[in-house]
Amino acid sequence: MLDIKLVRTNPELVKENIKKKFQDEKLVLVDEVLAMDKEFRECKQRGDYCRSQRNALSKQIGALMAKGQKDEAEKVKAQVAEFAKELADLEVKEEELSNEIKKRMMVIPNIIDDSVPIGKDDSENVEVERFGEPKVPDFEVPYHVDIMERLHGIDLDSARRTSGNGFYYLCGDIARLHSAILSYARDFMIDRGFTYYIPPFMIRSNVVTGVMSFTEMENMMYKIEGEDLYLIGTSEHSMIGKFMDTVLSEDELPKALTSYSPCFRKEVGAHGIEERGVYRIHQFEKQEMIVVCHPDDSRDWFVKLYTNTVDFFRSLDIPVRTLECCSGDLADLKVKSIDVEAWSPRQKKYFEVGSCSNLGDAQARRLGIRIKGKEGNYFAHTLNNTVVAPPRMLIAFLENNLREDGSIAIPAPLRMYMGGKEEIR
């Protein structure tokens, strides 16, 4: 959510930003906010006048009564009553205007960084850098589910019967590999100075609307029937919510956290759920990074965060690239975002395995996350990034470590989590 002062003082900047995100239907919201804000401030100014007059007149009543001037006192009482009634009406109107302004402000997108490439959708995202040499083996690389099934590591048919499409059973060494990757990711981030958390897996609606846009909420979140609770789509949701309505001292910052959680997503939209596969699913697990920092430090932290993901995948010898998200592909709260994509030898192309986002002060403004400064409080900046999200990451891992005989090589960093195994057969 933007600062209302920015909309007042520079509405053309806000409108230009909306155009850059190809959301022209939202341009009218800026004018509506300006008109309502003007009316709101006029109401507030009139309310302050009524309040001061009511208070001043109220003080006169006792003095008039003490002098025996009852008629005069009654006239003043009538004036007080008039001001009180007008004030009550103004307060109702102020609240109504405030709610309508907030409703529109929550939909107006955040100001994107100047470095973000302008484009309509993800087809116009821009490659930044490649890490590692992508290889295609001499033998055919099967579909990832076929690889898992040959190793007795996945059961989609049973999951389809119990839960429907978008769910899976992992078993045996594949399930162990899944857990090993998460354990390695946890320790990888702890070694880089991040504090490890396991957060709540359900959050209230005021946290949901604080961390994401309404569109994301509708397309992603599962609501618990009869409760003001939602299943989290990523641990970022509850981890950022942890700081709601807090004032942090500058010497506490940055807060660099890494969290594990299951994630639950409707996956409503163009991509849909796969009939057979684990690339886009309703349930998965993830190791995440979250940073709460001083506004001046968020650019540097953004680079550090996506570099951590690149380094993690490269430590397992998986080639990756970074892709800058264009303006039209950015969610409304994001200032800047970079995807990390892993190489798929089967498809001979890269696919997304993580996303790093700088949200500026958007989440902090919605949730009331402030920093106590020498010259007053100000809003923090928040960032998040995926360390690893199996089972999607398993696709890249299995394809890049597959041998011609169908076995899977286990890189050295994972062996301690796999009981010393060097391969899966």
- Kindly report, residue by residue over 193-215, the tens digit of the pLDDT: 999 999 999 999 999 999 998 77
- Asked if pLDDT for residue 270 goes beyond 60, the answer is no
pLDDT of residue 214: 77
pLDDT of residue 68: 85
pLDDT of residue 5: 95
Portion of the chain with pLDDT greater than 70, in percent: 98
Q: How far from 256 is each of 71, 195, 383, CA to CA, in Å?
A: 69, 6, 10
Which pair of structure tokens corresponds to residue 76?
């003043």
Which has the higher per-residue pLDDT, 361 or 267? 361
- Asked if pLDDT for residue 291 goes beyond 90, the answer is yes
- For the chain, which residues make up each domain, given as ranges? 4-105, 122-424
What is the spatial distance between Cα 304 and Cα 311, in angstroms, rounded to a whole number?
10
Candidates 3.30.930.10, 2.40.30.10, 3.40.50.9100, 3.40.1710.10; correct CATH number of 122-424?
3.30.930.10
Average pLDDT over residues 272-276: 63
pLDDT of residue 380: 98
- Asked if pLDDT for residue 268 goes beyond 80, the answer is no
Q: Which of 304, 307, 356 is nearest to 335 (CA)?
A: 356
Mean pLDDT of the chain: 94
CB 210 within 8 A of CB 241: yes
pLDDT of residue 94: 95
Does domain 4-105 match CATH 1.10.10.10? no
**Predicted confidence (pLDDT) per residue in 315-340, tens digit:** 999 999 999 999 999 999 999 999 99
pLDDT of residue 73: 86
pLDDT of residue 149: 96
pLDDT of residue 273: 62
What is the spatial distance between Cα 346 and Cα 232, in angstroms, rounded to a whole number?
32
- Asked if pLDDT for residue 71 goes beyond 90, the answer is no
- Asked if pLDDT for residue 269 goes beyond 80, the answer is no
Q: Which of 121, 357, 330, 127 is nearest to 236 (CA)?
A: 357
What is the spatial distance between Cα 384 and Cα 406, in angstroms, rounded to a whole number?
36
* Fold: same for 4-105 and 122-424: no
What is the spatial distance between Cα 203 and Cα 237, in angstroms, rounded to a whole number?
8
Q: How far from 409 is each of 135, 415, 416, CA to CA, in Å?
A: 15, 10, 14
pLDDT of residue 259: 98
pLDDT of residue 63: 84
Q: Which of 61, 115, 27, 141 is nearest to 302 (CA)?
A: 115
Q: How confident is the model at residue 66 (pLDDT cuts 50, 70, 90)?
A: confident
Portion of the chain with pLDDT greater than 90, in percent: 85
Highest mean pLDDT among 49-53, 279-283, 361-365: 361-365
Question: Over 368-380, what HEC string results?
Answer: CEEEEECCEEEEC
- Asked if pLDDT for residue 242 goes beyond 80, the answer is yes
DSSP string, 39-72: HHHHHHHHHHHHHHHHHHHHHHHHHHHHTT-HHH
Q: How confident is the model at residue 59 (pLDDT cuts 50, 70, 90)?
A: confident
